[in-house]
Chain A
Amino acid sequence: MSKKVGITGNEAIAQAMRIANPDVCGAYPITPATDIMQRFTSFVANCEVKTEMILTESEHSAMSACIGSSVAGGRVATASAAQGIALMWEMLFIASGLRLPIVMGVANRALSAPLNIHGDHSDGMGMRDCGWIHFYSENAQEGFDNMLMAFRIAEHMDIRLPVMVGLDGFITSHSIETMEYVDDETGRAFVGEFKAVNPLLDIKNPKSYGPLILTDMYMEYRKAHDNVMAKVPGVVLEVAAEFEKISGRKYGLFESYRLDDAEIALVVMSSAAGTTKDVIDTYRAKGVKVGLLKPRLYRPFPYEQMGEALKHCKAVAVLDRADCFGGSYGPLFADVSNALYHYAQRPIMINKIYGLGGRDYMPDQAEYTINELIQIAKDGKVKSIKEYIGVRE
Chain B
Amino acid sequence: MKTWKEVNPGAVILEPGSARKFKTGSWRAMRPKWIEENCIHCLLCWVYCPDMSVKVKDGKREQFDYDFCKGCGLCALECPGKKGQKAIVMEQEGN
Contacts and interface: CB of A to CB of B under 8 A. Distances in A.
Do A and B truly interact?
Answer: yes
Contact of B7 (A197, A205, A224): A224
A122 to B, nearest CB: 29
Contacts of A205: 14, 16
B10 A209 contact: yes
B7 A221 contact: yes
Contact size range, A: 20 to 34
Contact size range, B: 10 to 19
A98 B9 CA distance: 7
Interface string B79-90: 000000000000
A160 interface: yes
B3 interface: yes
Interface string A214-230: 00110111011001100
A46 to B, nearest CB: 35
A207 B16 contact: yes
A134 to B, nearest CB: 20
B68 to A, nearest CB: 15
B20 interface: no
Interface in A181-235: 197-198, 205-211, 213, 216-217, 219-221, 223-224, 227-228
Contacts of B4: 219-221, 223-224, 227
Question: Interface of chain A, helix or strand or loop or mixed?
Answer: loop
A97 interface: yes
Interface string B1-30: 111110111111110111000000000000
A309 B87 CA distance: 77
Contacts, number: 53
B16 A224 contact: no
A100 interface: yes
A292 B4 CA distance: 39
A209 B12 CA distance: 5
Contact of A98 (B2, B10, B16): B10
Contacts of A220: 2-4, 7
A216 B10 contact: no
A132 B7 CA distance: 20
A117 to B, nearest CB: 35
Contact of B1 (A206, A217, A228): A217
21 contacts: A98-B12, A100-B10, A198-B8, A198-B10, A198-B14, A205-B14, A207-B13, A207-B14, A207-B16, A208-B12, A208-B13, A209-B13, A210-B11, A217-B7, A219-B4, A220-B3, A220-B7, A221-B4, A221-B7, A224-B7, A224-B9
Interface of B: 1-5, 7-14, 16-18
List of 4 A-B pairs having minimum Cβ-Cβ separation, nearest first:
A99-B10, A223-B4, A206-B16, A208-B13
Given A198-B10, A227-B4, 15 more contacts: A97-B11, A98-B11, A100-B10, A198-B12, A205-B16, A206-B17, A209-B13, A210-B11, A211-B13, A216-B1, A217-B2, A217-B7, A220-B7, A223-B4, A224-B4
Interface of A: 97-100, 160, 197-198, 205-211, 213, 216-217, 219-221, 223-224, 227-228
